[in-house]
Structure 1
Amino acid sequence: MTDITSNNTFLITGIVFITIAVIGQSKLAFIEINPGCLGRLLALFIGMSSLLYALGLLNFSVETLDLLKTSLTEPIRQLISSINDLLQGS
């Protein structure tokens, strides 16, 4: 239960900070938000890192990771062997 709560918290925080970074100067009820260039960059950095952290909290099953590993391993091996063939043929 705490993973879902913290995931939602970081997701909402990321969305709020990215909104501040994109919109910039705005007035929200009685609060005026007016970040400068550094404030916008800081809000963008905090928002992106918060969203990435929220995405990192997602639980992936072991079967999904094994399927991903086996599906990517063979094409990578074929690509490496074809690159080696091209380099040796030249």
Structure 2
Amino acid sequence: MSAKATIAHEIVGHYEAYKAGRAFELYDVAPDAFKRNFALDEAQASIRVARFAPDLTSIERMTLLRDAITRLKSADLRIGDVKGELYIEER
């Protein structure tokens, strides 16, 4: 992933979701909850960046979407099952 996409992932993906109160809890949770929340938080960040970050190439956006799907798969989740839990409809 490019440096620009990585920085956008942290700012547009994680920081803006946190500021909106939509980050997933990663502390003081059971191991199963951590695995699920970590995958959701990372996938959410990558999808937000692919949709909303300015000045990314189509290849960077596709790489971010692929990252999101991979993160979800690692926790045995499917986008169709968790889409409603993700903060990906607005910036």
For the aligned pair, the TM-score class normalised by the smaller chain equals 0.3 to 0.5
* TM-score of the aligned structures, taking structure 1 as reference length: 0.37
Q: Which structure has greater helix proportion?
A: 1
| Structure of higher CA gyration radius | 1
Q: Which structure has greater strand proportion?
A: 1
* TM-score of the aligned structures, taking structure 2 as reference length: 0.37
